[in-house]
Amino acid sequence: MKSLAELAAIRDKMKDKVVIREGSQGIRVVVGMATCGIAAGARPVLNTFVEEVAKADLSDKVSVTQTGCIGICQYEPVVEIYEDGKDKVTYVKMTPEKAVEIVEKHLKGGKVIADYIIK
């Protein structure tokens, strides 16, 4: 069973890291999580981003969070990627599979996947 002792161990491990995270100018992955996004499948997309970012060891650089309705409900699930000094990238009709690819190619490799952005 995942115990509170294990949670305490995570805390001790993270103590030094937290300072670095708060000071860093990272990439923000924002998933539209209003009714439209949720109904279209935003939850597994968001969860996949969290897991893949961790797997790719990008957790210190990339944060995954949510927003409300972006206003293009027919394209949901919609994911916006914000990075300092770069234009916002909007990926549409997202799936967990696309999320895996975006972490690999865009967040890790720095290349926007043109096929998945809004046209």
Radius of gyration for the chain, computed over Cα atoms and rounded to the nearest angstrom: 15
56 near other proteins, rule: CB under 8 A: no
- Residue 84 burial (C-beta neighbours within 10 Å; 0-12, 13-18, 19+): exposed
Instruction: State the minimum distance, in angstroms, from the CB of residue 109 to other proteins.
Output: 20
Residue ranges in the chain assigned as alpha helix (H): 4-23, 35-40, 42-55, 96-102
Residue with tokens 């696309």: 98
Instruction: Report the residue from 44, 72, 109, 111 that binds other proteins according to the rule CB under 8 A.
Output: 44
Both structure tokens of 106: 């865009």
Count, residues near other proteins per rule CB under 8 A:
32
Q: Which is nearest to 53 in space by CA: 76, 77, 26, 32?
A: 26
Instruction: Report the residue from 50, 100, 112, 113 that binds other proteins according to the rule CB under 8 A.
Output: 50
Instruction: State the minimum distance, in angstroms, from the CB of residue 114 to other proteins.
Output: 28
Instruction: State the minimum distance, in angstroms, from the CB of residue 119 to other proteins.
Output: 26
97 near other proteins, rule: CB under 8 A: no
In terms of phi and psi (left: phi > 0; alpha: psi -120 to 50; beta: otherwise), the region of 57 is left
13 near other proteins, rule: CB under 8 A: yes
The binding site for other proteins (CB under 8 A) comprises 1-2, 4, 6-8, 10-11, 13-15, 18, 33-36, 38-39, 43-44, 46-47, 50-51, 53-54, 59, 64-66, 68-69
